[in-house]
Structure 1
Amino acid sequence: MHPDVSECERCQRLLPLKQGKCRYCTLLLKETEVDVSGIALVGGDQLWFGRELALRKSDRYLSGARTSGRFKAKARRDRAAARAKRPTSPHCIDPAQLQLFPTPPRDWGRLNPQDDYALTPKANLLLRDLSDYLRDQGVDPRLGGAATLRTLRVLTAHLGAEAPIRELDVKAIAALGDHYKGRRMVCFLRQRGILKPEPMHDAELVRARRVAGSLPSPFAEAVDLWIDVLLGQGSRSSPTLASGTIYSYVQNAHPTLKSWADSGITDLREITKKDVQAAIMGLPSARRHSVHPPLRSLFRALRRERKIFRDPARSVSLPTAVKLPTPLPSDRVRGILIKVEDVRSQFIVALVAVHGLVHNDLPALLLEDLDRSRGQLRVRRRGRLDHIVYLDELTSELATSWLRERHRRWPRTGNPHLLVSRVSATDEAGPKMSTEVTKTVFERVGISARKLRGDRIYDEARHTADPVHLMRLFGLGTTTAMKYITAAHPDKHPDPIQA
Structure 2
Amino acid sequence: MACYNFAVGYRRPTGDCLACHRRVPLRDGYCRLCWCQARLDRAADAESARDRTVLAPYVAEVRYHQLFLADLYRPHAPPPTTPRQRGAKGRRPQQAPPVASRPSPDSAQLMLLTDLPRTYRRGNVDLRSTAPPDNPWLAWALHLAWTTAEAHGFAPNVRYALNRNLIMLLATHADGDLVRVSQFHQFCRNGGGALVHVIDILSAMEILVDDRPAVFDIWLGTKLDGLAPAIAHQAERWVRTLHDGGPRWHRREPASAMAYFNGTRPALQIWSASHDHLREITRDEVITYLAGLHGEPRMLALTGLRSLFGWAKRNSVIFQNPCTRIWHAPRVRRIWQPLSDNDIAAALRAADTPPARVSVALAAIYAARPGQIRALLLDDVDLGNRRITLAGRDLPIDEITATVLREWLDHRHSRWPRTANPHLLISKETALRTGPVSAGFIPNLRRLATTLEQLRIDRKLEEAISCGADPLHLSVMFGISATNAIRWATNARQLQAFSAPHNPTHSD
TM range (shorter): 0.5 to 0.7
**SS of aligned partner of 1:422:** coil
Q: After superposition, what is the alpha-carbon deviation per residue over 1:231-280, rounded to whole angstroms, capped at 9, x for unaligned?
A: 47233253x43212312322342342243344235343x43321101223
Q: After superposition, what is the alpha-carbon deviation per residue over 1:301-324, rounded to whole angstroms, capped at 9, x for unaligned?
A: 344556556543241434654321
C-alpha contact (below 8 Å) 1:365/1:419 kept by paired residues: yes
Alignment of 1:330-349 (within 5 A): 330-334=341-345, 340=351, 342-349=353-360
Does residue 1:461 correspond to 2:464, yes or no?
Answer: yes
Letter in 1 for 2:193: K
Q: After superposition, what is the alpha-carbon deviation per residue over 1:146-188, rounded to whole angstroms, capped at 9, x for unaligned?
A: 655554454456x55986754444422123x3x4422364277
Q: What residue is the counterpart of 2:185 in the other structure?
A: 171
**Inter-CA distance 210–95: structure 2 relative to 1 (3 Å threshold):** farther
**Inter-CA distance 193–265: structure 2 relative to 1 (3 Å threshold):** closer
Select which of 250, 253, 258 maps to 1:247: 258
Q: What residue is the counterpart of 2:389 in the other structure?
A: 377
Q: CA deviation at 1:455?
A: 1.0
Letter in 1 for 2:358: F
Q: What residue is the counterpart of 2:275 in the other structure?
A: 264
Aligned length: 394
Alignment of 1:298-337 (within 5 A): 298-303=308-313, 308=318, 310-313=320-323, 314-318=325-329, 320-334=331-345
Letter in 1 for 2:188: A
C-alpha contact (below 8 Å) 1:339/1:444 kept by paired residues: no
Q: After superposition, what is the alpha-carbon deviation per residue over 1:52-98, rounded to whole angstroms, capped at 9, x for unaligned?
A: xxxxxxxxxxxxx958759xxxxxxxxxxxxxxxxxxxxxxx99343
**Inter-CA distance 154–435: structure 2 relative to 1 (3 Å threshold):** same
Distance (whole Å) between structure 1 residues aligned to residue 313 and residue 265 of structure 2: 19
Letter in 2 for 1:344: P
Q: CA deviation at 1:433?
A: 0.9
**Inter-CA distance 187–343: structure 2 relative to 1 (3 Å threshold):** farther
Distance (whole Å) between structure 2 residues aligned to residue 184 and residue 210 of structure 1: 26
Does residue 1:423 correspond to 2:436, yes or no?
Answer: no
Q: TM-score, normalised by structure 1?
A: 0.62
**SS of aligned partner of 1:420:** coil
**Inter-CA distance 125–468: structure 2 relative to 1 (3 Å threshold):** closer
Distance (whole Å) between structure 1 residues aligned to residue 195 and residue 406 of structure 2: 30
C-alpha contact (below 8 Å) 2:364/2:456 kept by paired residues: yes
Q: What's the RMSD between the two structures over aligned residues?
A: 4.8
Letter in 2 for 1:254: R
**SS of aligned partner of 1:489:** helix
Q: TM-score, normalised by structure 2?
A: 0.61
Q: CA deviation at 1:452?
A: 0.9
Q: After superposition, what is the alpha-carbon deviation per residue over 1:205-253, rounded to whole angstroms, capped at 9, x for unaligned?
A: 5523664587556434532443354247233253x43212312322342
Q: CA deviation at 1:294?
A: 1.6
**SS of aligned partner of 2:267:** helix
Q: What residue is the counterpart of 1:278 in the other structure?
A: 288
**Inter-CA distance 191–417: structure 2 relative to 1 (3 Å threshold):** farther
Q: What residue is the counterpart of 1:438 in the other structure?
A: 442
Does residue 1:120 correspond to 2:133, yes or no?
Answer: yes
| Residue identity (%) | 25
Q: Which has the larger radius of gyration?
A: 1
Structure 1: stretches of 5+ with no match in the other structure: 1-18, 35-64, 71-93, 380-386, 495-499
Structure 2: stretches of 5+ with no match in the other structure: 1-43, 53-76, 83-105, 125-130, 499-508
**SS of aligned partner of 2:442:** helix
C-alpha contact (below 8 Å) 1:167/1:195 kept by paired residues: no
Distance (whole Å) between structure 1 residues aligned to residue 159 and residue 417 of structure 2: 19
**Inter-CA distance 344–250: structure 2 relative to 1 (3 Å threshold):** same
Letter in 1 for 2:307: S
**Inter-CA distance 354–300: structure 2 relative to 1 (3 Å threshold):** farther
Distance (whole Å) between structure 2 residues aligned to residue 439 and residue 260 of structure 1: 40
C-alpha contact (below 8 Å) 1:273/1:312 kept by paired residues: yes
Question: Which shows bigger deviation, 346-355 or 132-141?
Answer: 132-141
Q: What residue is the counterpart of 1:355 in the other structure?
A: 366
Distance (whole Å) between structure 2 residues aligned to residue 190 and residue 337 of structure 1: 45
Letter in 1 for 2:428: R
Q: After superposition, what is the alpha-carbon deviation per residue over 1:86-119, rounded to whole angstroms, capped at 9, x for unaligned?
A: xxxxxxxx993435665255466xx6999xxx96
**Inter-CA distance 251–68: structure 2 relative to 1 (3 Å threshold):** closer
**Inter-CA distance 104–161: structure 2 relative to 1 (3 Å threshold):** closer
Distance (whole Å) between structure 1 residues aligned to residue 421 and residue 223 of structure 2: 36
Does residue 1:227 correspond to 2:253, yes or no?
Answer: no
**Inter-CA distance 299–140: structure 2 relative to 1 (3 Å threshold):** same
Distance (whole Å) between structure 1 residues aligned to residue 195 and residue 303 of structure 2: 39
C-alpha contact (below 8 Å) 1:461/1:484 kept by paired residues: yes
C-alpha contact (below 8 Å) 2:338/2:458 kept by paired residues: yes
Q: CA deviation at 1:354?
A: 1.0
**Inter-CA distance 215–247: structure 2 relative to 1 (3 Å threshold):** same
C-alpha contact (below 8 Å) 1:340/1:445 kept by paired residues: no
